[in-house]
Structure 1
Amino acid sequence: MLNILLVEDDLDLAQTLVQYLALEEIRCDHASNGVAGLHLMEKHRYEALILDLNLPRLDGLSACQQLRARGDDTPILMLTARDQLEDKVEGFKAGTDDYLLKPFEMEELVVRLRALARRRSGQVQRLCCGDLEMNLSEKNLTRGGRSIGLSPTCWQLLECLMRASPAVVSRQQLEQAVWGESPPDSNSLKVHLFNLRRAIDGPEEPPLLHTVTGQGFVLKCYENFKE
């Protein structure tokens, strides 16, 4: 079952959407303003976010900008009654992934949600895990203020792991992300992961890159993690 968040101040519309999505086996939390929506996003992980453009306390564009600024890559579907091109351009600049104009058909909403939920957003430009920060627009990586240099392959591996974090990424998924349908010999990934681990996990820093036996690899802040 998909788990999404709806941020909509029209309570009648929100109730209708929550009930309809439940019939489609989509669990939907609801917030009635932008500030409450951001609070829920801090506490829970959602597969997608439905965000109304015109919201009290904090509008949809500002909420979207704040989410992307803090590295949240949840796919965002913006609801709006505005159909002008410049409004859509501003929305995409703020970090939204898709638009749906009001009024809309429920079936179209479900189709768009399911499509968005299959991926994380490519709009986010800053990825974080603990004190490790990857700036995609400036192509730099730091941990606790320490600048880290990576090879192009290690950068791709780390970006894949950071976008998925805290979920486990299988060996096959990592190979697909870097080499597509033509993976190299079986030792190549092992060597690159060794180099990546050495680069991001300093001797006096808590480890972030972990091997999960039989499943793959995960980038996560663990206390007393045992492989």
Structure 2
Amino acid sequence: MHVLIIEDNPDIIANLYGYLEPLGYTLDVARDGNAGVACATGGLHDAIVLDLSLPGLDGVEVCRTLRRDHQLATPILMLTARDTVHDKLTGFEVGADDYLVKPYSLPELDARLKALVRRSRHEHVQAVLMFGDLRLDAGIGRVSRAGQALELTPTAYRILSALMRAAPKLMTREELEREVWGDNPPDSDALRTHIHTLRRVLDKPFAMPMLLTLPGIGYRLTAHDEP
């Protein structure tokens, strides 16, 4: 699981690394609010651990910015020393998914992160994703391009959903595999096969290809003609 920690306390950061990394987590860290926004929007993470009290933008403003301005669907677990109903409601109102009050149990943090990620693979902030002439309605599982319905396999649907949430940014092969298959991607070259299947439905009937491959790196969607 790939988690971004937005926290300025070096002792807390060290504790999180010491506990979570041996459990198989991959961790990134940002030590202030502005860096947290940049890191969250510049990479793909399975979840974000966000401290409420931060230099620069505080946790509430970071969460509001990620949800409102960037439509980021990544689950957010907010950490705070303030155990009041008002603070909790404020966090949830701006888009936090869960809340832990310091001092907290590291096993509970681990359990909550895993629960958030399990739910996020089926629920997203946006029920309808749109990019270029693509439209994906997660509520009914319908995908269309230029008004024409696309019949996708379940895996191709998950790949396209991930690419649309990231678009127009690149997703590396590793990021896309993790998004589609979680922490247990297939050993074979399954992703290449499913990309081929998706491209046949998404691009072949249309004049302009949208699914671009960067050989050896990954994939991304484009809404414009590119060389």
Question: What is the match of residue 101 of structure 2?
Answer: 101
CA separation of 1:161/1:130 partners in 2, compared to 1, >3 Å: closer, same or farther? farther
Question: What is the match of residue 58 of structure 1?
Answer: 57
> Which consecutive residues of structure 2, in runs of 5 or more, have no partner in the other structure?
164-170, 182-197, 214-218
The alignment's TM-score, normalised by the length of structure 1, stands at 0.62
The one-letter code matched in structure 1 to 2:52 is: L
The one-letter code matched in structure 2 to 1:88 is: K
CA separation of 1:75/1:204 partners in 2, compared to 1, >3 Å: closer, same or farther? same
Secondary structure at the aligned position of 1:28 is classed as strand
Aligned length: 182
CA distance in 1, matches of 2:95, 2:148: 27
Contact 1:120–1:163, Cα closer than 8 Å, also in 2: no
Secondary structure at the aligned position of 2:83 is classed as coil
> Which consecutive residues of structure 1, in runs of 5 or more, have no partner in the other structure?
171-192, 211-218
Question: What is the match of residue 112 of structure 1?
Answer: 112
Alignment map for 1:177-216 (pairs within 5 Å): 203=206, 205-208=208-211
Question: What is the match of residue 184 of structure 2?
Answer: none
Show CA shifts across 1:153-179 (max 9, x none): 99xxx9966643364769xxxxxxxxx
Show CA shifts across 1:80-99 (max 9, x none): 11222222122111111111
The one-letter code matched in structure 2 to 1:21 is: L
CA distance in 2, matches of 1:123, 1:161: 15
- How much has 1:14 moved relative to structure 2? 1.1
Question: What is the match of residue 22 of structure 2?
Answer: 23
Question: What is the match of residue 32 of structure 1?
Answer: 31
Secondary structure at the aligned position of 2:67 is classed as helix
CA distance in 1, matches of 2:161, 2:95: 16
- How much has 1:124 moved relative to structure 2? 2.2
CA distance in 2, matches of 1:162, 1:96: 25
Question: What is the match of residue 83 of structure 2?
Answer: 83
The one-letter code matched in structure 2 to 1:78 is: M
CA distance in 2, matches of 1:163, 1:62: 27
Contact 2:41–2:72, Cα closer than 8 Å, also in 1: no
CA distance in 2, matches of 1:114, 1:38: 22
Contact 1:78–1:96, Cα closer than 8 Å, also in 2: yes
- How much has 1:206 moved relative to structure 2? 3.8
- How much has 1:220 moved relative to structure 2? 4.4
Contact 2:47–2:113, Cα closer than 8 Å, also in 1: yes
Deviating more after overlay: 120-129 vs 39-48: 120-129
Show CA shifts across 1:34-86 (max 9, x none): 11111112322111100011111111111112211212111110001122222
- How much has 1:127 moved relative to structure 2? 4.0
The alignment's TM-score, normalised by the length of structure 2, stands at 0.62
- Do residues 164 (structure 1) and 162 (structure 2) align? yes
Contact 1:34–1:58, Cα closer than 8 Å, also in 2: yes
